[in-house]
């Protein structure tokens, strides 16, 4: 019918071609440039600071704004270790980070759906009879510890392998790429625009984080808002400027990077350092000499038993410890947070 009408009137035919030309111009000037300039359809929907979940049981995510920063600590920072330098500029692209560490409840969903077993034991489990608390207690697990943890506490006692299995499961379940944060992403997100020792200022404070005594390793402390000797429920302290909780203290977080004892080879694009090379280390790190860099992974944030020095934005740590591997090492002071590509 439409074609017949157009053919029967000269006026109608002109209008038809005018509309075709208008449509062509619209596509050429508006639609095409928009398609080319948009990195992906998904990214169009995310703005910095926005929070979202990919399923009802999935971790809540926060969109982190892209930017650049100096990774590491300046030479004069109190408590600095040699491996926190040299400071280097890193550009971090837009990504989403878990608002909180993964909780016991979220881990339990994974276990229920996959029957995932954790049989490696756990260090610092605080169970009766732990003669050497730093050794793996074979009976301890994420669900069997010597201190109380409700569903909202960060899940702990997981090896690197356990965490990789969770990330694969979550990616498959949601259709999105979930992974660990790189060390650059972690420090950028922890600093949230600050250059001070801690995001809240120059001194440690139990008003902002769950950590231990001023002088000892492995001992918790209750003071001010920090009412926990061991782990605290996620979100018990104020968030940083990017909207992330518990980046300092509570539990350390597994990261994607292999070990490197300086930032001299750290990728400037914000990605993880994953070069598997033979380590050449001396001094305090001499026990790692000759081992492969990727037989270790960086862990960040410090934990409930750490002194202030270890929960600084620039403080670095790594796992596993001597005598264990990425397949066996687990600790009640070590959990994880997820990242998602956008
Ligand atoms: Ca505490």
Residue-by-residue DSSP string for 156-173: ----HHHHHHHHHHHHHH
CA angle 48, 62, 246 (to 5 degrees): 125
Dihedral pair phi/psi, residue 165, rounded to 5°: -65, -40
Q: What ranges in the chain are assigned the alpha helix state H?
A: 2-8, 10-26, 32-37, 104-114, 160-174, 183-191
Distance from Cα 206 to the centre of ligand 1, integer Å? 7
Distances (CA, A) of 56 to 52, 60, 109, 284: 10, 9, 11, 46
Distance from Cα 328 to the centre of ligand 1, integer Å? 27
Reduced to 3 states, what is the DSSP secondary structure of residue 287? helix
In the chain, what is the greatest distance between 2 CA atoms, to the nearest angstrom? 98
**Beta-sheet strands, E only, within 176-247:** 178-180
User: Under 8 Å CB-to-CB from 293, ≥6 apart: which residues?
Assistant: 258, 259, 260, 275, 276, 277, 278, 279
Q: In the numeric block, which tokens belong to residue 211?
A: 């950590």
First to last CA, the chain: 47
Distance from Cα 252 to the centre of ligand 1, integer Å? 14
Distance from Cα 230 to the centre of ligand 1, integer Å? 6
> In tens digits, what is the pLDDT along the chain, a chain of 342 residues?
344 333 333 445 667 667 767 776 666 665 554 444 444 444 458 999 999 999 999 999 999 999 999 999 999 999 999 999 999 999 999 999 999 999 999 999 999 999 999 999 999 999 998 889 999 999 999 999 999 999 999 999 999 999 999 999 999 999 999 999 999 999 999 999 999 999 999 999 999 999 999 999 999 999 999 999 999 999 999 999 999 999 999 999 999 999 999 999 999 999 999 999 999 999 999 999 999 999 999 999 999 999 999 999 999 999 999 999 999 999 999 999 999 999
Distance from Cα 245 to the centre of ligand 1, integer Å? 15
Count Cβ neighbours within 10 Å for each residue of 96-115 and write b for 16 or more, e otherwise: bbbbbbbbbebbebbeeeee
Residue 173: Cβ within 10 Å count: 16
Distance from Cα 339 to the centre of ligand 1, integer Å? 26
Distance from Cα 333 to the centre of ligand 1, integer Å? 12
pTM of the model: 0.87
Distance from Cα 243 to the centre of ligand 1, integer Å? 22
Distances (CA, A) of 275 to 48, 243, 257, 265, 336: 31, 31, 9, 9, 22
H or E stretch at 52: strand 51-52
Distance from Cα 95 to the centre of ligand 1, integer Å? 31
């Amino acid at each position: 019918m439409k074609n017949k009408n157009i053919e029967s009137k000269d006026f109608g035919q002109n209008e038809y071609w005018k509309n075709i030309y208008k449509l062509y111009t619209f596509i050429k000037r508006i639609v095409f440039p928009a398609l080319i300039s948009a990195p992906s359809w998904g990214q169009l929907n995310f703005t910095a600071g926005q929070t979202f979940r990919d399923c009802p049981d999935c971790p809540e995510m926060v969109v982190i704004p892209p930017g650049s920063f100096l990774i590491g600590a300046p030479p004069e920072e109190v408590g600095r270790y040699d491996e926190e330098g040299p400071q280097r500029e890193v550009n971090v692209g837009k990504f989403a980070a878990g608002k909180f560490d993964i909780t016991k409840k979220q881990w339990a969903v994974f276990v229920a759906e996959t029957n995932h077993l954790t049989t490696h034991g756990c260090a610092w489990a605080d169970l009766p009879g732990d003669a050497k608390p730093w050794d793996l207690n074979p009976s301890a697990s994420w669900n069997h510890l010597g201190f109380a943890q409700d569903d909202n506490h960060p899940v702990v006692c997981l090896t690197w392998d356990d965490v990789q299995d969770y990330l694969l499961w979550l990616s498959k379940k949601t259709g999105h790429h979930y992974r660990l944060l790189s060390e650059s992403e972690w420090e950028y997100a922890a600093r949230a625009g600050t250059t001070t020792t801690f995001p809240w200022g120059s001194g440690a404070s139990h008003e902002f984080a769950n950590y231990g005594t001023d002088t000892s390793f492995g001992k918790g402390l209750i003071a001010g808002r920090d009412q926990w000797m061991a782990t605290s429920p996620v979100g018990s302290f104020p968030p940083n400027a990017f909207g992330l909780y518990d980046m300092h203290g509570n539990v350390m977080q597994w990261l994607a990077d292999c070990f490197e004892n300086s930032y001299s080879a750290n990728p400037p694009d914000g990605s993880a350092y994953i070069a598997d090379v033979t380590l050449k280390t001396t001094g305090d790190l001499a026990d790692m000499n000759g081992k492969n860099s990727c037989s270790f992974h960086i862990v960040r944030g410090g934990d409930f038993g750490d002194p202030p020095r270890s929960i600084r934005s620039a403080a670095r740590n790594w796992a596993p410890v001597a005598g264990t591997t990425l397949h066996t090492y687990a600790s009640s002071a070590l959990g994880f947070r997820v990242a998602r590509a956008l």
